[in-house]
Amino acid sequence: MENNYLALLYDLIAHPGKGLNQAREDKPWIFLVAVVILSGISIATGATLFVSSFTRVGRVVLFSNLFLVIVLLTFFWVVNVGILHFFAEVWGKRGSVIDLFITLGLAMFPFVFVSPLSLIVEGLGGGRIFFQSFFTIVLLLWCFFLALSAIREVYSSATFEALLILLTPIILFTVFSIFLPLSCILLAILSLPL
């Protein structure tokens, strides 16, 4: 069993499509839970190291929110699966929500590296903000491409269709966050007595 997890780990790094497809078939629940928990811990500790190096907030205070970070990351993951599955159905794609749940959970794997990279950045003298920003952007892009591969594998779609499914909620949220305040302002202006 451990050999299967190491092979899956290698495939997630070297061949994401193959690794996610294998995860879809094998449904490695223990590995999935480990990735989600380790990602949450790594994000919390990495953020704690980074924030506490620039502020006077103690690391103990920030580490106390570790459980909250893991719960929020898990909640975000579950909600994200539901939203993406909904939009995949809207775009006419058929796939299993359980498969999407597994593959998107494994797409969080790069977040495991947040804490070690934050430790490396902590040891650097100058340029900490630059290197932390660089590492964060690289990890976010890696997660984005893993999520894109997950959607491609689950819904057997082309890259453009997977990108459309992945970006539709983001675009709609952006449009609503721009137009909702503007419509409230316009409504307030129009309701003023002349």
The answer to whether residue 64 scores a pLDDT higher than 70 is: no
The answer to whether residue 152 scores a pLDDT higher than 60 is: yes
Looking at residue 79, its pLDDT comes to 92
Q: For residues 73 and 126, give the distance between their C-alpha atoms in angstroms, rounded to a whole number.
A: 31
Neighbours of 175 (CB within 10 A): 10
Looking at residue 57, its pLDDT comes to 59
What's the pTM? 0.80
Looking at residue 52, its pLDDT comes to 67
178 Cβ contact list (under 8 Å, min separation 6) = none
Which residues in 32-93 belong to E strands, given as ranges? none
Looking at residue 151, its pLDDT comes to 92
41 Cβ contact list (under 8 Å, min separation 6) = 66, 70, 115
Q: For residues 25 and 189, give the distance between their C-alpha atoms in angstroms, rounded to a whole number.
A: 57
Per residue in 109-125, pLDDT tens? 898 888 888 888 877 76
